[in-house]
Amino acid sequence: MAAVRGALDLLFDAVTWPLGGTRPLWGLILVSLLSGLWMILLFKTASPQRAIKRLRRRMGAQALGMLLYLSSPLQVLRLAGGLLWSNFLYLGMILLPLAVIALPFGLTYGQLEARYGRGYPDSGDTLTATLEYAVAPPGDEVVVSSSRGLEPLPPLVTIDSLRQVSLRLTVEETAPRSLSAAGEELPVGRRSLRSGSIVYAGAETPSAASLFRPGNSIIAPEARDSLRSFRVSIPGRDYHVLWHGWSWLAVFLVFSTLSAVAGAVVFKVRV
């Protein structure tokens, strides 16, 4: 998994490398535009384009027929039924290309969320951390044995029925930042990449899940006896576009849609 993660990091670094020195927004826009493009091209490759073309013509004819035969309710009903069936056929045709797109889309989504969706906590910020145990949580005094760059704040709220302990952490100047709990070193850090960084908490060992959520905090269950997970509320960030604050997802959706539409026109993709 470490090798896959490394390859993904390298790929996204290479794509965003030309804009490495600029604001993160430009990198996000570039990846969004490229994502829209590859998604539409992948769709073209994986879908039966001729069949879609024929089906769309038929659907157009059925819709037009309904307008022409408005005076004949039976005919309208027949055409409407045909149109409904054509829609089902269309959905069936796009299932395979959507399945093909899903995996790379999931990886892209995770990378973008981790690179552009979270802000690195500043000194003085307060984070909320939750430790989940496989067994009953320990008493307050032994939950956090030590910490670096993170100051645990009282109270430590123990929820026995959920086997969880929640606490607040004040972020200090010093880095790296980590907690020691249940014999584990739990980092809250930033993995520096060529074109930016990925903010993460607790994800030490790359797992299959961490490929889709590189900033995720899930601790691989096979490696831990008592501690099941460590989650930290890492603050989100937004981008200033056209006088509005946009989430990274809004930027991604708008720009990837724009490039997908443009790609469909240029490469004559039937969608």
Tokens read off for 227: 């501690």
- Report the phi/psi class of residue 9: left, alpha or beta, with left for phi > 0 and alpha for psi in -120 to 50: alpha
Nearest-angstrom CA–CA distance, 215 and 218: 9
Binding site for other proteins (CB under 8 A): 126, 128, 130, 140, 154-162, 166-168, 233, 238, 240, 243-245
CB closer to other proteins out of 172 and 238: 238
Give the CB-side neighbour count of residue 235, counting CA atoms within 13 A: 13
In the complex, least distance from residue 104 CB atom to other proteins, rounded to whole angstroms: 26
Nearest-angstrom CA–CA distance, 26 and 32: 10
In the complex, least distance from residue 166 CB atom to other proteins, rounded to whole angstroms: 4
In the complex, least distance from residue 228 CB atom to other proteins, rounded to whole angstroms: 16
CB closer to other proteins out of 13 and 132: 132
In the complex, least distance from residue 160 CB atom to other proteins, rounded to whole angstroms: 7
CB closer to other proteins out of 49 and 128: 128
CB closer to other proteins out of 130 and 229: 130
In the complex, least distance from residue 156 CB atom to other proteins, rounded to whole angstroms: 6
CB closer to other proteins out of 49 and 147: 147
